[in-house]
Amino acid sequence: MAAKIAYDEVEVGTELPAQSFPVTRATLVRYAGASGDFNPIHWNEKFAVEVGLPDVIAHGMFTMAAAIRVVTDWAGDPAAVVEYGVRFTKPVVVPNDETGALIEVSAKVAAKLDDRRVRVDLTAVSAGQKVLGMSRAVVTLA
């Protein structure tokens, strides 16, 4: 299925609306329940520190899913995303407080491809550090 955005109306360099995604320990517990990933690095501060992490960290797949929301919201149809990949560069550290962490995501059209597709490059940052590298999606447009 194609997105609601018209291919002819999009140019290389088009910026997608940036979004921020809050992450608390409660968010991680809910994600663990939904995903079945109960690794203690995502909920047990003592364990996370013992294995060399600074604190509890968000699930990588949670971070990846939050980031692609910028693209799916822009496209208007999640099924328009035909490829998506990232490299995990830094963990999203989630303190045990009311604020938690914030994942800030921006994206722009990096290339127009054949068959009405575009490549979108994403940037995801938390606590001033890039948490995803080589984050790219291919989207089929209308």
| pTM metric for this prediction | 0.94
Domain limits, the chain = 7-22+57-140
Mean pLDDT (whole number) for 116-124: 98
pLDDT digits (tens, 9 = 90+) for 53-65: 999 999 999 999 9
Q: For the chain, what is the largest distance between any 2 Cα atoms, rounded to a whole number of angstroms? A: 53
The residue assigned the tokens 């940052």 is 125
CATH T-level assignment (fold) for domain 7-22+57-140: Thiol Ester Dehydrase; Chain A (3.10.129)
DSSP per residue, 11-27: -TTPEEEEEEEEE-HHH
Q: Are 122 and 133 in contact (CB under 8 A)?
A: no
* Residue 83 β-bridge partners: 138
Digit-coded pLDDT (tens) for 19-55? 999 999 999 999 999 999 999 999 999 999 999 999 9
